[in-house]
Amino acid sequence: SIMRKCINDMVVPASLAAPTGRANEGQTFVVPKGHYLLASPAVAQVDPRVWRDADKWDPLRWLDPMGAAAQAGSLYNDEQGEKIDYGWGAVSKGTESPYQPFGAGRHRC
């Protein structure tokens, strides 16, 4: 069960390059029991692979009909998007969205 996994030390495989730009290949990271591991949506918000001028404050990027936000929104709003029904109708999980300022999954805003 997930609870058994969480009470023991957990090995976390490297999935992204290190902030220094060096690859993490072959490295193992261990999250000791009693410690927390959190994902920061803020990191995805400044990913230059997703956002043009990612480090620039540009609230209008959300209004660009051809921008990354609009494309991601249309993907999760159409019939082909990732959907799940928690009992009140199918909604987007949003877990693969390039922007998650309101979280994802069952407990998102």
DSSP letter, residue 45: H
pLDDT tens, 41-91? 777 777 787 778 888 888 888 788 888 777 766 666 665 666 777 777 776
* Per-residue model confidence (pLDDT) at position 79: 59
* Per-residue model confidence (pLDDT) at position 101: 58
pLDDT tens, 1-26? 667 776 777 776 665 555 555 665 66
Task: Name the token pair of 54.
Answer: 């990612």
What residues form the annotated binding site for heme? 109
What residues form the annotated binding site? 109
DSSP letter, residue 84: E
pTM score, two decimals? Answer: 0.40
Going by C-beta distance under 8 Å and a sequence separation of 6 or more, which residues neighbour residue 50?
44, 68, 98, 99
